[in-house]
Each structure stands twice: as structure tokens, then as C-alpha cells.
């Protein structure tokens, strides 16, 4: 759950904090003498633009061309930003997992997937992980699987991997409160609809796309990446992308269109997390700082 108080409107620049890097400084583009303080009123759009102090930019040598095709222009990573350790949770085929993994290898994501967690030891994602030498952890406790973990053991095992972020990618079990509390603002999930529509318990897999089409109310759908709290699909929304819903779409056709967008979006968001480009608005809304234009947040 969000720990911040919810307040209306935007905060002043100095109030935005990057949770991943509390030392990072965000400065307003306005002169500091500009009266009255932004924190006391709703600013104009111009006033919510920020300048970020960064280390000098370097070009990234490894795999940048592939990275550019996924996340934009040719500017490389900032120096001084530590490479992050990622855990991915899957229950199924794991195409999002593969997409992010390939992006880490190509240099598009400044992190490494160091462990995979699954409740289905034989699923496609687990098979891929073993093939790539990524350790696989079983969670939750499964009968006849002595290696499977309880929630507290999962937390302590993830600690041993020094996990920075947890990416849920088609993991069908509810995340235990122990994990949510152990990793505040560090667990994200991808959902194949534009939340808050078509989300919550029971909305998973093809059921989501069938419901979108059956509703007749949606001309657009698309993936949402959100932070994870103790319920299904209710955490703060971090990013969304839109795809059209065609009049004669089957659920399978819509799912394929959304999934393609998911792969791009998860790489973009994982890159932003690992490069510490997430800022939190005073009202608790997470924003992604553009890589191309550090003054732009979305
Ligand atoms: C995706 O559609 C994702 O949105 C949902 O589960 C599916 C996982 O697909 N949470 P894959 O296993 O990554 O192919």
C-alpha cells in the first residue's frame, strides 16, 4: 500500500522524491524566488516541469542499437547508477520475462534478472530460466515440493539475492503481505487491460480480453503496469499503452495485439526503474522521467 498521504494537485519540485535514489535532486526550472511557493497552490503546466541534476552522460557500448529500438534514442546510461538486481515472478509461458531478460542482455535495461519465482515448476518461464542459468524458486508452498517456500522464507531468500525490484509477469498467485511490506514501491505487475477497467480477482489471461470485447464499451485496450499492493490490480498505475479493439476482434487477436505492446512497455518501464527515473508526485502518483527529455514526466 502507498505510505504517502494523498493530497490533491501536484507537489512542488522539491517535494518530489525518487524513492529508489533519495539523494537525487530535482530542481524547478523556475527561479527559486518565484512567489508564492508552489506547494501552496495548484501550479500551471509550465511550473510542473523539472530539471534533473545528472552525472555526465556517456554512450552505452553494449547492445545499444537493439536497446534504441526498444526504448528510444541513442543516449546511453547515466554514470554512477548501480546496476539493479531483478526478480521476475511467472506462472506461464513467460514471454514478458523473456523480453525483459533479452533487454538486460542487450544493454537496454541496466539490471540483471538474478532469480525467477514461480508456482508452476514446469511452466515455459521456468524452463527458459533454467536454460539460461537463472535460479528458479518455487512459491508458494506446494505439496510434494519440499523446496517450495513459505512467504517469510521467500522474503529472506530474495534478500540473499539483494533484489532491488520484483517484476510480476503473469504470476497468478496473490502476492503475500510479507513481500509487499518487505519491498515497498519495488514490486510491479503487468496487466493486459487499461486498469482500473477489467481488473481484479478473476480477470486474468484470456478472460480479460473476452470481457473487454463482450462489454462492447471499449474501442481501446492495452497493457497497464502498476505497483503491487495487497489486492489484485489495485496498486498505483505507473504506465499504460493503448491498442485499438477492432469490431470483429476475437479475444485471441486482441490478446496478441496487447501482448506485443506489453513486451515493449515492460522493457521501457524496467529500464526506467533500473535507471532511477521514477519520481513520486505528492499525491502518490508515480511518474516516469523521459530518457529523451529529462524535463518531461509521464
Ligand atoms: C500477460 O498478458 C500479462 O499481462 C498477464 O499475464 C500474461 C503473461 O504472459 N499478467 P506471458 O507469460 O508473459 O507470455
Query: pLDDT tens digits, residue range 8-49?
Result: 333 333 344 443 443 343 333 333 333 333 333 333 333 333
Task: Say if ligand 1 is within 6 A of residue 199 CB.
Answer: no
Residue bearing the bigger pLDDT, 144 or 91: 91
CA–CA distances in Å: residue 270 to residues 12, 166, 197, 262 = 26, 10, 23, 12
pTM exceeds 0.85:
no
Place of cell 513481500: 179
User: Which cell goes with 87?
Assistant: 526478480
- Residue of 140, 119, 116 lying closest to 130 (CA atoms): 116
pLDDT of 67 over the 90 cut: no
- Share above pLDDT 90 across residues of the chain, in percent, rounded to a whole number: 70
Dist. CA 24 → ligand 1 center (Å): 33
Q: What is the mean pLDDT of residues 221-240?
A: 96
The minimum-distance atom of ligand 1 relative to the CA of 255 is: 2
Residue bearing the bigger pLDDT, 157 or 27: 157
Task: Say if ligand 1 is within 6 A of residue 96 CB.
Answer: yes
Residue whose CA lies nearest to ligand 1 atom number 2: 192
Angle at 200 between CA 208 and CA 1, to 5 degrees: 140
Q: Could you tell me the pLDDT band of residue 255, with boundaries at 50, 70 and 90?
A: very high
CA distance 236 to 113: 23
Q: What is the pLDDT of residues 259-290, one digit of tens each?
A: 999 999 999 999 999 999 999 999 999 999 99
Q: Which DSSP state fits 48?
A: G
Q: What is the pLDDT of residues 166-177, one digit of tens each?
A: 999 999 999 999
CA distance 168 to 59: 30
Q: What is the mean pLDDT of residues 212-230?
A: 94
Q: Which helix (H) or strand (E) holds 90?
A: strand 84-90
Query: Please, what's the largest Cα pairwise distance for the chain?
Result: 67
Give residue 8's pLDDT.
33
The minimum-distance atom of ligand 1 relative to the CA of 94 is: 12
Give residue 57's pLDDT.
32
Q: Which helix (H) or strand (E) holds 112?
A: strand 111-118
Dist. CA 20 → ligand 1 center (Å): 26
Helices (H), 17-165: 64-71, 95-106, 124-131, 151-160
Task: Say if ligand 1 is within 6 A of residue 92 CB.
Answer: yes
Dist. CA 287 → ligand 1 center (Å): 23
Q: What is the pLDDT of residues 288-298, one digit of tens each?
A: 999 999 999 99
The domains of the chain, with CATH numbers, are 84-288 (3.40.50.170)
Dist. CA 256 → ligand 1 center (Å): 11
- Residue of 20, 15, 13, 93 lying closest to 52 (CA atoms): 13
Average pLDDT, the chain: 81
Q: Could you tell me the pLDDT band of residue 77, with boundaries at 50, 70 and 90?
A: low
Residue bearing the bigger pLDDT, 16 or 223: 223
Other beta carbons within 10 angstroms of residue 22's beta carbon come to 7
pLDDT of 51 over the 60 cut: no
pLDDT of 197 over the 80 cut: yes
CA distance 233 to 225: 9
Amino acid at each position: 500500500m502507498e505510505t504517502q498521504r494523498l493530497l490533491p494537485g501536484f507537489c512542488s519540485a522539491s517535494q518530489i522524491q525518487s524513492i529508489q535514489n533519495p539523494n537525487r535532486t530535482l530542481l524547478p526550472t523556475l527561479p527559486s524566488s518565484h512567489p508564492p511557493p508552489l506547494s501552496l497552490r495548484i501550479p500551471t503546466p509550465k511550473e510542473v516541469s523539472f530539471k534533473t541534476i545528472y552525472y555526465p552522460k556517456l554512450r552505452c557500448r553494449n547492445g545499444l542499437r537493439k536497446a534504441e529500438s526498444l526504448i528510444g534514442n541513442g543516449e546511453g546510461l547515466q554514470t554512477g547508477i548501480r546496476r539493479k538486481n531483478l526478480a521476475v515472478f511467472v506462472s506461464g509461458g513467460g514471454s514478458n520475462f523473456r523480453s525483459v531478460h533479452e533487454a538486460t542482455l542487450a544493454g537496454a535495461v541496466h539490471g540483471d534478472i538474478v532469480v525467477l519465482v514461480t508456482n508452476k515448476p514446469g511452466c515455459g518461464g521456468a524452463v527458459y530460466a533454467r536454460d539460461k542459468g537463472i535460479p528458479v524458486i518455487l512459491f508458494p508452498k506446494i505439496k510434494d515440493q519440499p523446496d517450495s517456500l513459505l512467504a517469510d522464507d521467500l522474503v529472506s531468500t530474495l534478500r540473499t539475492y539483494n533484489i532491488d525490484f520484483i517484476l510480476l509477469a503473469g504470476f497468478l498467485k496473490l502476492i503475500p503481505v510479507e513481500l509487499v511490506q518487505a519491498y515497498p514501491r519495488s514490486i510491479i505487475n503487468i496487466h493486459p487491460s487499461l486498469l482500473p477497467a477489467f481488473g481484479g480477482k478473476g480477470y486474468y489471461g484470456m478472460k480479460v480480453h473476452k470481457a473487454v470485447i463482450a462489454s462492447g464499451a471499449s474501442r481501446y485496450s492495452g497493457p497497464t503496469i502498476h505497483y503491487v499492493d495487497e489486492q489484485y490490480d489495485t496498486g498505483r498505475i505507473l504506465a499504460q499503452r493503448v491498442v485499438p479493439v477492432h469490431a470483429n476482434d476475437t479475444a485471441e487477436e486482441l490478446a496478441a495485439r496487447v501482448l506485443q505492446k506489453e513486451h515493449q512497455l515492460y522493457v521501457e518501464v524496467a529500464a526506467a526503474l533500473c535507471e532511477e527515473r521514477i519520481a513520486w508526485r505528492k499525491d502518490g502518483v508515480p511518474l516516469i522521467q523521459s530518457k529523451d527529455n529529462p524535463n518531461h514526466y509521464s
